[in-house]
Amino acid sequence: MQAIMSMDGIIGAIISAIFSIFVTWKIAKSDSSQKNDILQAQLRTAESDLRESKEHAEKLRGELNSLKNQVAKLCEYEKKHGEMKKKLQAGGVIKEYTQPVLLVGPRFIGKTSLLMQWHAPWDHSRLSATRTHHTSMVPIYDFKRDNVEPHFADPDILTDVHVHLKLKVHDFPGEIDSQHNIIAQAKKETLELRKKTGKRLGIVLICMFDAEEADKGVSPATIEYYNGELFSNLRQLVGHNEIGIERL
């Protein structure tokens, strides 16, 4: 009987030990599974972070290449701009100032001869009487200003200013009926001159006479011409500001 009880105790102890081992194994297995899951999750996270890092690195590489291309273009642009700036500075700015001049007087008084002396003094060929109104640009004086000013193409570029002074000379036929055209041209030139300069400037009116008349007396043709439409109305035209006269 005692042997049976002893055997039962041994069996119970064995079963208890087996159960204990099983529980311990189960717990160990569960803990290992949890650790494995955690490690796998960490591995997936690490793989995801690595992919994102690679994608971010690739994106940064693309942006860097784009910036390099932009820098190269900017360097090329800067070089071209520098060359253009040098050319603009070297070329300077040309400004033209033109003074309208009207030559008036009767026929064969020498208006065209005077114009040719200004326009082409080397030309000594015989001149015919003026039949129609015409104009000529006569250079008077060219000079460079002492001070520089911003270039019209780029205000940051300071450049020399070369000034060209010119006369715009109108030569009219000596017939009295041409005086209506003289009035029209005087009005037009006054308006354009004031528009360009923003100042109340006017034309230069040169009235020509035959020098011999100082000795022989004023001829009827000269008297008739200077009693014509232009001179009869000149004071009124100036007074109404239709014509500006800078010099007479």
Q: What is the pLDDT of residues 154-191, one digit of tens each?
A: 788 888 888 888 999 999 998 999 999 999 999 999 99
Sign, CA dihedral 56-59-65-70, equals negative
Predicted local confidence at residue 4, as pLDDT: 55
And the tokens for 152? 């019209």
Q: CA angle, 228 as apex, 112 and 170 as ends, to 5°?
A: 30
Q: What percent of the chain is modeled with pLDDT above 70? A: 88
* Ranges under pLDDT 70 in the chain: 1-9, 26, 28-29, 88-89, 91, 123-129
Which of 154, 163, 159, 185 has the alpha carbon at shortest distance from 172? 185
Q: How far is CA 74 from CA 67, 147, 206, 219, in A?
A: 10, 33, 59, 77
Which of 192, 140, 189 has the alpha carbon at shortest distance from 163? 140
| Alpha-carbon span 4 to 20, nearest angstrom | 24
Which of 191, 176, 173, 174 has the alpha carbon at shortest distance from 231? 176
Predicted local confidence at residue 83, as pLDDT: 75
Predicted local confidence at residue 3, as pLDDT: 55
Q: Which residues pair with 207 in a beta bridge?
A: 104
